[in-house]
Amino acid sequence: MLFTRFLAGGLKSPVIIGALVVILAIGVIVPVLNLAVAPGSAFHIPDHMVPLFGKYLCYAMAALALDLVWGYCGILSLGHGAFFALGGYAMGMHLMREIGDRGVYGNAVLPDFMVFLNWKELPWFWHGFDSFVFACIMVAAAPGILAFVFGWFAFRSRVTGVYLSIITQAMTYALLLAFFRNDMGFGGNNGLTDFKDVLGFDLQSGRVRSTLFFLTAFFLALNLLIAAAIVGSKYGKILRAVRDAEPRTRFLGYRPDKIKLFAWTVSAIMAGVAGALYVPQVGIINPGEFAPANSIEMVVWTAVGGRGTLVGPIGGAILVNAAKSWFTGVLPEYWLFALGALFIFTTLYLPDGVAGLIRKMVGKARSKPRGKDEETEAPAADAPAGAAE
Amino acid sequence: MTDTQSQSQSQSQPVPAAAKAPINPALAPTPSARKDTLLYLDGVSRSFDGFKAINELSFVLAMGEMRAIIGPNGAGKTTMMDIITGKTRPDKGDVFFMGDIDLTKHDEPTIAQMGIGRKFQKPTVFETQTVADNLLLSLKGERRGIPALFYRDNRKDRRTIDGILDKIRLGHRRDELAAYLSHGQKQWLEIGMLLAQDPKLLLVDEPVAGMTDAETEETARLLREIAVDHSVVVVEHDMGFVRDLGVKVTCLHEGHVLSEGSLDHVSSDPQVVEVYLGR
Amino acid sequence: MPLLRRLVLLTFAALALAFPATGARADAAEISAIVDRFATASKFPQVEAVIEALGAAGDPLAVPALRALEAGELQVAPDGRVVIERGDALLDPVTLEAAAPVEGRLKKVRTKNSIRRMIGDVISGLTLRAPEPAIRMTAAETIFASADAAQLDALEAALAEETDAGVKSRMEEARAAILLTASDDPAVQMAAIDIIADRGDQQALAVLATYANQASNADVQAAAREGVAEIESTLAMWQAGQNIWYGVSLGSVLFLAAIGLAITFGVMGVINMAHGEMVMLGAYTTFVVQETIRNSFPGAFEFSLLIALPLAFLVSGLVGLVMERGIIRHLYGRPLETLLATWGVSLILQQAVRTIFGPNNREVGNPDWMSGAFMIGEMSVTWSRLWIVVFALCVFGALLFAMNRTPLGLQMRAVTQNRRMASAMGIRTPWVDALTFALGSGIAGIAGVALSQIDNVSPNLGRTYIIDSFMVVVFGGVGNLWGTLVGGLTLGVVNKFLEPYAGAVLGKILILVFIILFIQRRPRGLFALKGRAVE
Ligand SMILES: Nc1ncnc2c1ncn2[C@@H]1O[C@H](COP(=O)(O)OP(=O)(O)OP(=O)(O)O)[C@@H](O)[C@H]1O
Ligand SMILES: [Mg+2]
C-alpha cells in the first residue's frame, strides 16, 4: 500500500530505527518496572513517576512536531503550545463528559463549572464530546484546522522569519486571553479538571496509567516514523529547499505556501496529539498552557536537542524537563536562571544542539580514515527563513 | 508546434533590418504579430518610487530563437526578467507568452510551470542539498507537495539527471552538497537546473560573471547547445561571450531598447558606443 | 456625578478656609446671635426656623455653622453657647477661632434628612453672593441641580448684581432649571429649555429628561425631548472625544514601549525579547530613586522622576550594551537564534529582579504634578496620562532629531537600508549595532519610568507590554519612526473604541486577529521600507 511504503521511507536511517526501538522499549519497560517489580526493589518505578515520564514523552512529541517545521522548514513557531493545548482541551472535554453526574454538583448534563456559572444548557460546541471517537477526531481537527487557516493566511502573504514567529506568538496569546474568559465555555481560569475515567477505566488505577504511558511512547514512535518519512521523501527535499531559498523554489514552479502549509498542519496535529495524551496523565488542562512562555520553552527543548535531527529534540525535551523537575525540587529559585542560561548557551555554543555535537564528533572520528568527502559536514542551515526574501 | 516554430523564424527576419531606427514607432509590434512569437512585450513600463526602471519597453522573441541582451548597469535587464517571470508587475504594457498567455495575470509558480525557467544573476542553488538533489528538485513534472511524499526514485529520472550532470560537467560531484561548489560550478549547476526543468524559454542572467576565460567559452558552447531545442534569452556584459554566442543582440538603456540587430550592427551604433561600450 | 460632588466639597473646604480672612464683617455679631438660637431650638421646626433666619440674613458668614450643623458637628454647651466640635477642638461657629473650654457634656443640635437638604439649599443661596466667583459658581450649580423654586428670589437678586460672565451664565441656567418646573407659561418654559439644552452636559440631560417625562404641555414636552436628543448627541461627541483621549494615552504608552524595539529591529533585524525587561528595569530604577529620596532627601520627591529618567536610560542602556557585546554580536545574521537568546536574557533579568526586589508589586509614587485630574468640557483628563502623552511626543521629537540630524542617526539609517553597503562605505557597523542596541534599550528604560506612574511595578511588568509592543512594530513597520508612532496611536485608539462594545479582553483578541489579517495585505507594516535591499 502507498502509505506503508511511505512510512517505510522513514526507516532509511539507522539512527531513526534505533530511536524507534528505544522509545518502544521504554514504553514497555517503564510500566513493567512499575507494575511487576516489587515496590522495595531498586528497579521499582514509583507510581507518581509513571505519569511524570509520560509527561516528558508528551513534551518530546511536541518538540518533535516543532522540529518538523523549525528544523526542516525554517518556521520558528512561538505558538506550538497553542496546538498542544487545543489537543489537550479536546481530550479534556471528553474526560469532562465522562465524569457524568459524579461532579460536585451532581448535574448529569452540565460540567461543574457550567453549573457554577448558572448555565442552563450545554453549549453547542460541547456536543459530540461524549463520544471518544469524536473527541479523538477533534484532537487532530482542532489544532489542524487552526494551523491550516493560520498558515494559509500567513504563508500566502509571504510572512516569514521573525515576523512569522511574532505572529505565532500573538496567536497563542490571543487564545490564552480567550480561554481565560468564563463565557468561552472552556472552564475559564480553572480549565478542565477532576477527571475520573477514560473509556470507563479509572484514571487513577495503575493499569490505566501504564497503558497511557505505553500509548504515549507508541504515538511518539509513530510520529517520529511519520516525521522521518516526510523528511526523507522528495517532499522533504522540497521542504528544505523552501527553507533555504524560498523565492528560488517559486521560479522552479513550486508553491512554497502550500508546501509549508502541509508540514505546518501535520506538525500542529502532532502537537495536538501530544496535548491529548498529556491531559489524562497530568489530570488538568487550563489556559496557562497557552502562555507564550510555554511555547518558547518548547523551542528550547528542540534547540538543545538539535533541530533538524528529529531524534535530537526528543532527547532535548526529556533532558530539559528532567532538569526542570530536579531544579524545582531542589533549587526552585534558580530554575529560571538556569533556563535562561540554557537559552543563551545553546544559541551561542550549540547551534545544532546536542545531536549536532554528537554528529560532529562521530563525523570527525569517521572522516579521518576516509578523506575529504566525509569531512565536509553539512553546513548549518543558518537563519534560513530570515535571510531569504 | 514545430511548424509554427519554423514559420516564426522566417517571419522574424525583417526585424533586424528595420532595427536601424530603433525609436521608430512603426517598429512597434502589432497584435497580429503576436501570433507566432514566444515572448512578446509591448509598451511595458515599470517605475520604482518614480524611477522608471522599464520605460515603454518593446521586445519580441521568436519561437526557438536565442537572444543576447546587453546594456549598462541599471538598464533594466534584470527587471525585465522579473516582469516576465511574474516577480514584478508592470505598471502598464502587454506581456504575452506563446502568443496569447498574458503573463501579467499569473504568479511566479504558474509562469514557471508554463515553461519559463530562470537563472539568477546571483547564483542561487539549494546549498544544503546534494548536486543531484538540486537537479531532482528541478526536474520537470509534478510540483505539488503531497504527491512528492510518495515519489519514488526511478531509473528514468536518474538517467535524466545523470545526462544533465554530464552536460554541466558535474558528474563527479553528484553527491556532494551544492554549498561546496565553486562559484562557476554553481553557475553551471543553475544552468543544469534550468535544463532539468526543460522549459520552453530560458532566461539566463549573467551566466559567466566570475568565470575564467576557459569556463566562459565552455558556457557559451553549452548555451549554444541548449539553444538547439530551446528558446533562450541571455543577459551578459562580457562582449567576448556575446560574440561567441553569435546571435541577435538587443541593447537596453534606461529601460528602453536602444538598438537591436547583429552584434556588429549594435556595437557600431553610436548611441550604444556612447552609453555602454565607451568612447 | 461623583466628580461634581467632589468639586462641591472641595469648594466648601476652600470656603471654610476663606472665611476667617473675610470674616471681619460688621454683622458678624448679628449672625452669632442667630446661630446662638440653636441652643434653644429643641424641636425640628425650631431648627428649621433658625436656618431660615440665617438664610434671610443673607451673609455667607453663616455658612461654616450651617455646614457644621449638616455634618453633625454643631453642639450646644451646658452654658448655652453654641460651638463646633471638630475632632478634639472646639471652635466658635462664626469666627472659627478656638472656643473656650466647656464644662460638662455637649448636646448635639439634631437634624434630619429634610433639614439637611434645606441646609444645602440655604448655603447655596448664601454663597450666591460670596465675593469669590468660584464659590458663586458652585452655588449656582447646586441650585441648578436642586431646581428649588424657593431659591428663585435669591438667584434673581444675585443675577442682577453678577458681573462675571461665566458665573452669570451658570446662574441663568440655574434660573432656567427652576423656571422649567416652577413656571406654567409655555413661552418661559421653552426659553428655559433652550438655555438648558445649550448647556449640554450630564446634569442638563438629567433635568431635561426628568422634565420631558412629566411635562403637561405637549409643545413644551416636544421641545424638551428635542433638547434631550440634542444634549445626547453633544454628550456622544464628548464620549467619543474621551475615548480618543484614552486611546491616545494608551497609544503613547504603546509607542513608548515599542519605539526602542522598532529601532533595534529596524537597524539590526533582531527581535529583542528582553525589551520588556528593559522597560521593567527602568521602572525599578524609578523605584530605587524614589526610595533613596524618601530616605535621604524627602524634599526632592517632586523631582524624583526627572532624576530617574537619565538613570533609567543609563541602566537599561548599559544592560543593552552588555547584551549586544556579549551575546547578540555573535549571532549576527541569525535573527531567530537572537530571538531565543534574548528570551533567555529576559528570563534571567526577570528572575534577578524577583530575587532582589521580591515578587510583589513595589510602590512607586506620583509626584504632585502627576496626580489628579481636570475636566475639559465633559472629558476627564488625568495629569499622569497627559504628561505621558507629552513625554512620548518629546521622545519622538528627540528621536526624530537624533535619527535625521546626528551622525549616528545617519549611520543607523544607512545600516537599516543596506547593511553591506554601509559597511563597505566605512561605517563601522558593529559599533553602530552596539550603540543602536544601547539606545533602544535606554529608551525602553525611560519608557519604564513613565509606565511606573500608571502601572504596577512588578517583575512581570515587561511581559504585559512585550506582545503589544510587537504588534505595534509589526503594524507600523520597521525602520521608520513615524510608523511606530502611527502604529501605536492607531492600536491605542482602536483598542479603546472596541472596549465598550467587546470588552477589554475580546477587544484585545480582535486587535490581534486584525493584525494577523493586516499583515496579509502589508507583510511589512504600514510604513515599510522599499527597495530591493529589503527583499
Ligand atoms: N524592487 C525594486 N525596488 C526599487 N528599485 C528597483 C527594484 N528593482 C529594480 N530596481 C531599479 O531598477 C533599475 C534597473 O535595475 P536592473 O537590476 O534591472 O538593472 P540591470 O540592467 O540588471 O543592471 P546590472 O547590469 O547591474 O545587473 C535599477 O536602478 C534598480 O535599482
Ligand atoms: Mg541585472
Per domain, the residue ranges of chain A are 13-367
End-to-end CA distance of chain B: 45
Instruction: Show residues of chain B in contact with C534, CB under 8 Å.
Output: none
Instruction: Show residues of chain B in contact with C531, CB under 8 Å.
Output: 48-49
The Cα of C476 is separated from the nearest Cα of chain B by a number of Å equal to 20
pLDDT at residue C170 in the model: 85
Residue B44 CB neighbours (<10 A): 24
DSSP letter assigned to residue B197? H
Digit-coded pLDDT (tens) for A196-231: 888 888 888 889 999 999 999 999 999 999 999 999
Highest mean pLDDT among A72-86, B46-60, B220-234, B251-265: A72-86
Q: Report the distance separating Cα C535 and Cα C528, nearest Å.
A: 11
List helix spans (H) across B35-120: 77-84, 108-114
CA-proximal residue: ligand 1, atom 16 (nearest): B76
Instruction: Show residues of chain A in contact with C348, CB under 8 Å.
Output: 336-337, 340-341
Whether residue C533 has pLDDT greater than 60: no
pLDDT at residue B23 in the model: 45
Picking from B223, B234, B200, the residue whose alpha carbon sits closest to that of residue B112 is: B200
Q: Bridge partners of C382?
A: C373
Instruction: Show residues of chain A in contact with C352, CB under 8 Å.
Output: 337
Residue C131 near ligand 1, beta carbon < 6 Å: no
Domain regions of chain C by residue span: 2-127, 258-462
Residue B78 near ligand 1, beta carbon < 6 Å: yes
Residue B83 near ligand 1, beta carbon < 6 Å: no
Written as nine digits, the cell of A280 is 489524562
Residue B76 Cα: closest atom of ligand 1: 18
Residue B254 near ligand 1, beta carbon < 6 Å: no
**C526–A contact, CB cutoff 8 A:** no
A380: nearest CA partner in chain B = B128
- pLDDT, mean of residues C426-448: 89
Q: Which long-range contacts (CB under 8 A, 24 or more apart) does C393-397 make?
A: C393/C252, C395/C256, C395/C259, C395/C443, C395/C446, C395/C447, C396/C255, C396/C259, C396/C481, C396/C485
pLDDT at residue A378 in the model: 39
The contacts of residue B58 (CB under 8 Å, 6+ apart) are B27, B28, B29, B41, B42, B43, B44, B257
Burial C311-350 (b: 16+ CB within 10 A, else e): bbbebbbebbbebbeebbeebbebbbbbbbbbbbbbbbbb
Digit-coded pLDDT (tens) for B97-155: 988 889 999 999 999 999 999 998 888 899 999 999 999 999 988 888 888 888 888 89
Residue C532 near ligand 1, beta carbon < 6 Å: yes
Of residues A232 and C363, more confidence is placed in A232
Residue B197 near ligand 1, beta carbon < 6 Å: no
Picking from C438, C158, C480, C200, the residue whose alpha carbon sits closest to that of residue C315 is: C438
Place of cell 531544579: A327
Residue B250 near ligand 1, beta carbon < 6 Å: no
B51: nearest CA partner in chain C = C531
CA-proximal residue: ligand 1, atom 7 (nearest): C532
| Inter-chain touch C341–A154, beta carbons under 8 Å | no
Q: Report the distance separating Cα C443 and Cα A142, nearest Å.
A: 41
| Inter-chain touch A169–C467, beta carbons under 8 Å | yes
Containing B102, the helix (H) or strand (E) segment is strand B101-102
Q: Report the distance separating Cα A296 and Cα B40, nearest Å.
A: 52
Q: Report the distance separating Cα B40 and Cα B34, nearest Å.
A: 6
CA distances from A96 to A89, A143, A204, C230, C428 (A): 10, 19, 15, 54, 62
Residue B121 Cα: closest atom of ligand 1: 27
**B49–C contact, CB cutoff 8 A:** yes
A259: nearest CA partner in chain B = B145
Digit-coded pLDDT (tens) for A153-178: 889 888 888 888 988 998 999 999 99
Whether residue B19 has pLDDT greater than 70: no
- pLDDT, mean of residues C3-13: 49
Picking from C132, C114, C124, the residue whose alpha carbon sits closest to that of residue C171 is: C124
Among the bound ligands, the one closest to the CA of B76: 1
Kindly give the distance from the C-alpha atom of residue A157 to the centroid of ligand 1, in angstroms, as a whole number.
Answer: 24
Amino acid at A199: L
pLDDT at residue C16 in the model: 45
Mutate to test the interface with C, among A348, A349, A350, A382 (most CBs of C within 10 A): A348
- pLDDT, mean of residues B23-35: 55
Digit-coded pLDDT (tens) for A25-83: 999 999 999 988 888 888 888 888 999 999 999 999 999 999 999 999 999 999 999 99
C529: nearest CA partner in chain B = B49
Q: Report the distance separating Cα B97 and Cα C255, nearest Å.
A: 49
B245 neighbors B256 (Cβ within 8 angstroms): no
The Cα of C499 is separated from the nearest Cα of chain A by a number of Å equal to 14
Residue B121 near ligand 1, beta carbon < 6 Å: yes
Please count the residue pairs, one from chain A and one from chain B, whose beta carbons lie less than 8 angstroms apart. 91
* Chains touching C by CB (3 or more pairs below 8 Å): A, B
**A108–C contact, CB cutoff 8 A:** no
Instruction: Show residues of chain C in contact with B49, CB under 8 Å.
Output: 530-531
B101 neighbors B114 (Cβ within 8 angstroms): yes
**C351–A contact, CB cutoff 8 A:** yes
Residue B206 Cα: closest atom of ligand 1: 27
pTM for this prediction: 0.81
Mutate to test the interface with A, among B137, B139, B186 (most CBs of A within 10 A): B137
List helix spans (H) across C107-151: 113-127, 133-146
| Inter-chain touch A254–B117, beta carbons under 8 Å | no
pLDDT at residue C529 in the model: 59
Pick from A258-272, A324-338, B86-100, C51-65: least confident: C51-65
Q: Report the distance separating Cα A164 and Cα A157, nearest Å.
A: 11
Mutate to test the interface with A, among B83, B110, B128, B177 (most CBs of A within 10 A): B128
Q: How large is the ipTM? A: 0.88
Pocket test for ligand 1, best of C532, C534, C535 (most atoms within 8 A of CB): C532
Digit-coded pLDDT (tens) for C103-148: 778 888 888 888 887 887 788 777 777 777 888 888 888 888 877 7
- pLDDT, mean of residues A116-126: 89
The Cα of C331 is separated from the nearest Cα of chain A by a number of Å equal to 7
Phi, psi angles (nearest 5°) of residue C325: -65, -35
Amino acid at C192: A
Q: What is the mean pLDDT of chain A?
A: 89
Kindly give the distance from the C-alpha atom of residue B78 to the centroid of ligand 1, in angstroms, as a whole number.
Answer: 6
Picking from C121, C152, C153, C124, the residue whose alpha carbon sits closest to that of residue C136 is: C124
Q: Bridge partners of B252?
A: B257
Among the bound ligands, the one closest to the CA of C529: 1
Q: What is the mean pLDDT of chain C?
A: 83
What is the 3 state secondary structure string of C148-162?
CHHHHHHHHHHHHHC
Surface-to-core class of residue B228, CB atoms within 10 Å of its CB (0-12 exposed, 13-18 middle, 19+ buried): exposed
End-to-end CA distance of chain A: 40
Q: What angle do CA C194, C200, C201 make, to 5 degrees?
A: 140
The contacts of residue A7 (CB under 8 Å, 6+ apart) are A225, A226, A229
DSSP letters for C351-402: HHHHHHH-SS-B--PPPGGGS-EEEETTEEEEHHHHHHHHHHHHHHHHHHHH
Residue C182 CB neighbours (<10 A): 16
Among the bound ligands, the one closest to the CA of B70: 1
DSSP letter assigned to residue A380? P
For chain A, percent of residues with pLDDT exceeding 90 = 64
Written as nine digits, the cell of C313 is 536610560
Instruction: Show residues of chain C in contact with B48, CB under 8 Å.
Output: 530-531
| Inter-chain touch A300–C351, beta carbons under 8 Å | no
B113: nearest CA partner in chain A = A253
Kindly give the distance from the C-alpha atom of residue B209 to the centroid of ligand 2, in angstroms, as a whole number.
Answer: 11
The Cα of B133 is separated from the nearest Cα of chain A by a number of Å equal to 8
pLDDT range class, residue A371, cuts 50, 70, 90: very low
| Inter-chain touch A76–C347, beta carbons under 8 Å | no
CA distances from A195 to A121, B69, C31 (A): 20, 73, 79
Which residues of A have a CB under 8 Å from any CB of B? 2, 5-6, 229-230, 233-235, 237-238, 240-241, 244-245, 247-255, 258-259, 262, 373, 376, 378-379, 381
A258: nearest CA partner in chain B = B145
The Cα of B214 is separated from the nearest Cα of chain C by a number of Å equal to 31
